[in-house]
């Protein structure tokens, strides 16, 4: 299926306004990247502990790969999916597809068979690029087994040992650079990348972004953080295949002209080495990642002088963790509220600790306007709590092959309904009041896991915490707190933790009734705490275990 015909649910006149006022560059991401190459061809583009790839080298690789794609028959609107660990290859694939007007659909390693099948089928991928294995899973065999159900899939490409019937990714970088005559103009309002978003649906979903929305939205977001352009050096702890990682190729490289720092997968010691040796000035990650790094004493003995800020997204972070991370990294802290669905609001380096932990930030209409609405979708006065909706230059086109989701989450004017509750205070800050999607219902009462997690993480010996529901016949759900403690400290009992919660002012009906310890909380492929896995863990406890026997370490 050719995705050039995707419908843009943001009205044309609204998009045109962002072009007219200069918010949108109205150029393809490939064109913009080529301009950066002309400006500084020998500047580093992608940096890791193993190698550095310059702008000129990355363009050469992208143009050779684009030639291979062209010879294979990849055309404008075709979808190239990939599931790869972080490396310059991800950026080269992004740019090669963009040069042809094709669409990339990356998703992070770690997805299981059902998710992979759903993702490839939903986006009608014509090609898939993967590594041979992930952990103990043979990805090539898995994808091969799914091929009869994936009618659009024509090309299987592997980055490594090559089974029969597969193409080798390294071989696709060998043809000569694609002649300019084979490249045709690309409409900047056409789709260039599908971002993955799990949301609350049973299957992960794709969200379609145009060249303009990625640059004029996600690129402008980075510019709003720091407009130092080619000196912007961003370190990505999470996979580039996540929505959070989409700003790397298209924002830092194609728009700012800076550099991205990568490691193949998240690992605390490698992250510390990368900070020390590669000198990033911003680090992108999720709270659990920052908490793990901050807890490592070795962080204090390295050179962190390059750091200006850490940018935390994916989940709201508590006051204690913000303070610990700011102190440990010795830099500013930016908290990001955003999603692949087209939502963006964040604090800044100028905001003090109280604002970071109690508010989201001031909405920036040049990236994403925030509007608070009532149950009928009508705007309500400032200071009143309602549902948070979003629309702006960052707004995507639509969900991919999911009109039922467009019907639920988008209106005719292109506004996204987040399902989150909040209000705009007198100073213009967005304040999050609750999340419709993330509650525990205990005896008919709605309980926010975030509040309990924040209190738990204020404990001086707790590194990270996650609160999950446990099914219960009488109350519907009870509360389980999962903790990671500092090495070598005594683990509190459930009664001791309950006493701590009460001392911090937590209501009696919100006290966790089950306690589990983990050496590390499991992470989803996107790098967030995998609450589905945690919840699955407790499903097998029959009946749910309390007190001391629940304090087993996992």
Q: Is the pLDDT confidence value at 548 over 70?
A: no
Average pLDDT of the residues in 122-137: 94
Residue 542's pLDDT band (cuts 50, 70, 90):
very low
Read off the pTM: 0.83
pLDDT of residue 199: 56
- Residue 266 near residue 241 (C-beta atoms within 8 A): no
Q: Is the pLDDT confidence value at 1 over 60?
A: no
Domain positions in the chain are 1-43+54-212, 360-435, 440-550
> CB count, 10 Å around CB of 509?
10
Residue 435's pLDDT band (cuts 50, 70, 90):
low
pLDDT of residue 541: 55
Q: At what angle do helices 494-503 and 449-457 cross, to 10 degrees?
A: 100
Of the candidate CATH numbers 3.40.50.170, 3.40.50.970, 3.30.300.30, 1.10.287.130, the domain formed by 440-550 belongs to 3.30.300.30
Average pLDDT of the residues in 437-451: 73
Residue with tokens 């019937």: 165
526: buried, middle or exposed (CB in 10 Å: 19+, 13-18, 0-12)? buried
Percent of the chain with pLDDT over 90: 75
Specify the CATH architecture of the domain 1-43+54-212: 3-Layer(aba) Sandwich (3.40)
Q: How far is CA 128 from CA 72, 105, 139, 286, 303, in A?
A: 13, 9, 11, 27, 40
Of the candidates 284, 174, 191, the one whose C-alpha atom is nearest the C-alpha of residue 4 is 191
- Residue 194 near residue 341 (C-beta atoms within 8 A): no
Alpha-carbon span 417 to 399, nearest angstrom: 13
Q: Is the pLDDT confidence value at 464 over 70?
A: yes
Residue 147's pLDDT band (cuts 50, 70, 90):
very high
> CB count, 10 Å around CB of 480?
26
Cβ contacts of 204 within 8 Å, gap of 6 or more: 107, 111, 115, 118, 119, 196, 197, 198
Chain centroid, CA 511 distance in Å: 31
Average pLDDT of the residues in 110-128: 90
Terminal-residue alpha carbon distance, the chain: 45
pLDDT of residue 319: 85
Q: Which of 102-106, 226-230, 370-374, 381-385 has the weakest average pLDDT? A: 226-230
- Residue 80 near residue 120 (C-beta atoms within 8 A): no
pLDDT of residue 544: 42
Alpha-carbon span 261 to 275, nearest angstrom: 9
Q: Which of 38-42, 206-210, 287-291 has the weakest average pLDDT? A: 287-291
Q: Is the pLDDT confidence value at 482 over 80?
A: yes
Quote the tokens at residue 539.
């499903």
Q: Across all residues in the chain, what is the average pLDDT?
A: 91
Peptide bond into 543 cis (omega under 30): yes
pLDDT of residue 545: 43
407: buried, middle or exposed (CB in 10 Å: 19+, 13-18, 0-12)? exposed
Cβ contacts of 255 within 8 Å, gap of 6 or more: 25, 32, 215, 219, 220, 222, 223
Backbone angles phi, psi at 240, to 5 degrees: -65, -20
Q: How far is CA 184 from CA 101, 102, 107, 139, 445, in A?
A: 8, 12, 27, 34, 58
Residue 449's pLDDT band (cuts 50, 70, 90):
confident
> CB count, 10 Å around CB of 341?
22
> CB count, 10 Å around CB of 184?
10
Residue 459's pLDDT band (cuts 50, 70, 90):
very high
Q: What is the pLDDT of residues 12-22, one digit of tens each?
A: 999 999 999 99
Q: Is the pLDDT confidence value at 201 over 60?
A: no
Alpha-carbon span 237 to 189, nearest angstrom: 30
Q: What is the pLDDT of residues 322-359, one digit of tens each?
A: 999 999 999 999 999 988 999 999 999 999 998 998 89
83 by DSSP, 3-state: which? Answer: strand
Q: Which of 3-7, 93-97, 120-124, 244-248 has the weakest average pLDDT? A: 3-7
Alpha-carbon span 166 to 273, nearest angstrom: 36
Of the candidates 453, 243, 468, the one whose C-alpha atom is nearest the C-alpha of residue 340 is 243
Residue 441's pLDDT band (cuts 50, 70, 90):
confident
Q: What is the pLDDT of residues 153-171, one digit of tens each?
A: 999 999 999 999 999 999 9
Average pLDDT of the residues in 267-271: 96
| CATH superfamily of this structure's domain 360-435 | Luciferase; Domain 3 (2.30.38.10)
pLDDT of residue 401: 92
More confident residue, 58 or 227: 58
Tell me which long-range contacts 145-152 makes (C-beta under 8 A, separation of at least 24). Answer: 145/113, 146/113, 146/116, 146/117, 146/120, 149/117, 149/121, 150/117, 150/120, 150/121, 150/125, 152/1, 152/79, 152/124, 152/125, 152/126
Average pLDDT of the residues in 237-241: 94
pLDDT of residue 546: 44
pLDDT of residue 552: 46
- Residue 47 near residue 261 (C-beta atoms within 8 A): yes
Of the candidates 23, 11, 22, 97, the one whose C-alpha atom is nearest the C-alpha of residue 394 is 23
- Residue 279 near residue 259 (C-beta atoms within 8 A): no
Alpha-carbon span 206 to 121, nearest angstrom: 11
């Amino acid at each position: 299926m050719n995705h050039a015909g995707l419908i843009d649910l943001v009205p044309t006149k609204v998009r045109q306004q962002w072009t007219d006022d200069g918010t949108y560059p109205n150029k393809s991401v490939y064109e913009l990247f080529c301009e950066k190459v002309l400006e500084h061809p020998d500047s580093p583009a992608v940096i890791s502990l193993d190698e550095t790839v310059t702008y000129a080298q990355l363009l050469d690789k992208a143009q050779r790969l684009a030639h291979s794609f062209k010879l294979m028959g990849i055309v404008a609107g075709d979808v190239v999916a990939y599931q790869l660990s972080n490396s310059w290859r991800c950026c080269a694939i992004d740019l090669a597809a963009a040069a042809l007007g094709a669409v990339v659909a990356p998703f992070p390693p770690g997805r299981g068979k059902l998710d992979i099948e759903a993702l490839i089928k939903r986006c009608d991928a014509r090609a898939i690029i993967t590594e041979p294995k992930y952990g103990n899973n043979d990805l090539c065999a898995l994808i091969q087994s799914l091929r009869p159900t994936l009618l659009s899939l024509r090309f299987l490409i592997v980055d490594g040992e090559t089974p029969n019937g597969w193409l080798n990714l390294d071989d696709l970088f060998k043809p000569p650079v694609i002649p300019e005559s084979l490249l045709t103009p690309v409409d900047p309002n056409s789709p260039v990348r599908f971002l993955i978003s799990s949301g609350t649906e049973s299957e992960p979903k794709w969200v379609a972004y145009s060249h303009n929305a990625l640059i004029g939205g996600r690129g402008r977001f980075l510019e709003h953080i720091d407009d130092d352009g080619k000196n912007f050096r961003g370190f990505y702890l999470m996979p580039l295949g996540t929505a959070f990682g989409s700003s790397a190729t298209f924002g830092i490289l194609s728009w700012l002209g800076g550099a991205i720092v990568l490691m193949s997968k998240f690992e605390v010691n490698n992250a510390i080495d990368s900070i020390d040796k590669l000198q990033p000035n911003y680090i992108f990650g999720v709270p659990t990642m920052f908490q793990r790094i901050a807890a490592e004493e070795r962080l204090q003995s390295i050179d962190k002088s390059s750091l200006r800020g850490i940018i935390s997204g994916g989940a709201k972070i508590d006051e204690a963790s913000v303070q610990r991370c700011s102190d440990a990294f010795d830099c500013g802290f930016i908290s990001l509220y955003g999603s692949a669905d087209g939502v963006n609001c964040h604090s800044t380096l100028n905001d003090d600790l109280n604002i970071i932990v109690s508010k989201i930030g001031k909405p920036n209409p040049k990236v994403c306007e925030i509007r608070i609405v009532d149950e009928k979708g009508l705007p309500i006065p400032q200071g009143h709590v309602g549902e948070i909706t979003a629309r702006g230059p960052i707004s995507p086109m639509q969900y991919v092959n999911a009109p039922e989701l467009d019907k639920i989450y988008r209106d005719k004017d292109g506004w996204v309904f987040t399902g989150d509750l909040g209000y705009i205070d007198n100073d213009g800050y967005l304040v999050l009041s609750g999340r419709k999607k993330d509650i525990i219902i205990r005896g008919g009462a709605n309980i926010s896991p975030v509040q309990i997690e924040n209190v738990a993480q204020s404990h001086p010996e707790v590194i990270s915490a996650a609160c999950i529901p446990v099914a219960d016949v009488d109350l519907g759900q009870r509360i389980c707190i999962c903790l990671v403690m500092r090495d070598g400290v005594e683990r509190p009992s459930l009664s001791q933790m309950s006493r701590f919660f009460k001392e911090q002012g937590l209501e009696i009906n919100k006290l966790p009734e089950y306690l589990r310890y983990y050496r590390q909380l499991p992470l989803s492929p996107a790098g967030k705490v995998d609450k589905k896995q945690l919840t699955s863990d407790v499903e097998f406890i029959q009946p749910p275990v309390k007190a001391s026997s629940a304090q087993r370490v996992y």
